A and B are shown apart, each in its own frame.
Chain A
């Protein structure tokens, strides 16, 4: 009798044990809230101009212009999902002359869309970094998306004459931070 009882109890316990289950409410519609917000960083542009390159045939060149392709937005996925872009610029001048630098975003017809202006003081023995962060959002972002080329205009200010052996250089480095929203 006792033996029978213990079997029954074990059986009952097993039955109870195997009957337990849990469930929770799931809401699969949450997939519609899916939203990716990745933030990517990359180099934007870089140049270093040694002082002696401002001399051509013994004459100072006070203005220099260059433009490069700017094809960041050729990719339609990127163009469509970009919500904000930060461009960070850092200019390090070690030449004993002041400069003004304009970075101009140009559209496909080379018409200027956006201009970033820097006044770079002459080097006087201590490093003076000129930094700037340009934030492109909403209207300015639309301008940025139309940009096809990036132009640089470097104008040298008055000061002591440079020669082929003048020390120092004008250095610019920059990076881009892209904020995407993918829904």
Chain B
């Protein structure tokens, strides 16, 4: 019975949500496991991460196509593959991209070698997130135009996306309360460099043959893009240093953070 249970456990999978990489969970040899569980039993006397190098993570995904569909080295023309991917997708398919870089991290044990006064860990990471539903109709319109789609109504509501860049400064503490119980907590300050979202769009474009004019063409669009933190960069005539500005905001600007102005 127990063996059946073990076998069952091998094959079972459960979906979970976390702010950080699930692969780090309970992997206490890696101090970053403190990011998933502030009570993880990391007990090095001290540790520090190599700035910008100690934690790099990039993740891109799509529910409708794979990198192979687009980039297979099989002699098929790239644009044919792109077209196939777009036509096979649906408006409910998602594209996601996430990137995280640890700017710095460190931790140290409080007190002397044998004392049990707790453990402090701290660090800062930067994160970029992008999520978009497949804008199928808009992609078809851009790829092929409207000539071959007389009578088709292109749905502009397919456009739905959200993107954000933020940085997080965090400090955590954990302590062995008893031999078998460790309590830990982590405080974070989130600072957003920019945020943009375009959801709840609607609209359509269609062309049909008409009697008086050659075509009857209707474009109705109700699109909205909400942004914060980037309006000055996308405004016309901006001549500043966008990269520098975003870096400043990522580092909490002049007041709250590292004082880089």
Q: Tell me the A residues contacting B by CB distance below 8 Å.
A: 7, 10, 14, 24-28, 30-31, 33-44, 46, 48, 88, 90, 173-175, 177-178, 180
Given contacts A36-B143, A40-B145, A43-B215, 15 further A-B contacts (CB under 8 A): A14-B10, A24-B72, A26-B72, A26-B73, A28-B71, A30-B70, A30-B71, A34-B78, A36-B79, A36-B142, A37-B79, A39-B144, A39-B146, A44-B214, A88-B214
Mark each residue of chain B from 146 to 169: 1 if its CB lies under 8 Å from any CB of chain A, else 0: 111010000000000000000000
Contact A173 B147 (CB under 8 A): no
Contacts of B79 in A (CB 8 A): 33-37
Query: Which residues between 57 and 82 of chain B lie within 8 Å of chain A, taking CB atoms?
Result: 67-68, 70-73, 77-79, 81-82
Q: A156–B142 Cα gap in the complex (Å)?
A: 44
Is residue B18 within 8 Å, beta carbon to beta carbon, of the partner chain?
no
Known: A35-B79, A38-B142. A26 touches B67 (CB 8 A): yes
Q: A178–B68 Cα gap in the complex (Å)?
A: 33
Shortest CB distance B162–A (Å):
25
Q: A54–B201 Cα gap in the complex (Å)?
A: 49
Shortest CB distance A182–B (Å):
8
Contacts of B72 in A (CB 8 A): 24-27
19 contacts between A and B (CB under 8 A): A7-B3, A25-B72, A26-B67, A26-B68, A27-B71, A33-B77, A33-B79, A34-B82, A37-B79, A38-B145, A40-B147, A41-B146, A41-B150, A41-B207, A42-B207, A42-B215, A43-B213, A43-B217, A175-B215
Contacts of A37 in B (CB 8 A): 79, 144
Is residue B212 within 8 Å, beta carbon to beta carbon, of the partner chain?
yes
Contact B143 A38 (CB under 8 A): yes
Is residue B261 within 8 Å, beta carbon to beta carbon, of the partner chain?
no
Contacts of B141 in A (CB 8 A): 38
Is residue B256 within 8 Å, beta carbon to beta carbon, of the partner chain?
no
Contacts of B207 in A (CB 8 A): 41-42
Contacts of A174 in B (CB 8 A): 214
Contact A41 B143 (CB under 8 A): no
Contact B68 A24 (CB under 8 A): yes
Is residue B114 within 8 Å, beta carbon to beta carbon, of the partner chain?
no
Contact A39 B147 (CB under 8 A): yes
Shortest CB distance B87–A (Å):
14
Known: A26-B67, A33-B78. A38 touches B144 (CB 8 A): yes
Contact B214 A173 (CB under 8 A): yes
Known: A34-B79, A36-B142. A177 touches B147 (CB 8 A): yes
Contacts of B78 in A (CB 8 A): 30-31, 33-34
Contacts of B213 in A (CB 8 A): 43, 46, 173, 175
Is residue B23 within 8 Å, beta carbon to beta carbon, of the partner chain?
no
A36, A88, A174: most-surrounded residue (chain B CB, <10 A): A36
A41, A48, A173: most-surrounded residue (chain B CB, <10 A): A41
Identify the closest chain B residue to A175 (Cβ): B214
Contacts of B145 in A (CB 8 A): 38-41, 178, 180
B3, B10, B71: most-surrounded residue (chain A CB, <10 A): B71
Is residue B7 within 8 Å, beta carbon to beta carbon, of the partner chain?
yes
Identify the closest chain A residue to B215 (Cβ): A43
Contact A41 B215 (CB under 8 A): yes
Query: Which residues between 1 and 33 of chain B lie within 8 Å of chain A, taking CB atoms?
Result: 3, 7, 10
A28, A30, A37, A40: most-surrounded residue (chain B CB, <10 A): A30
Mark each residue of chain B from 213 to 229: 1 if its CB lies under 8 Å from any CB of chain A, else 0: 11101000000000000
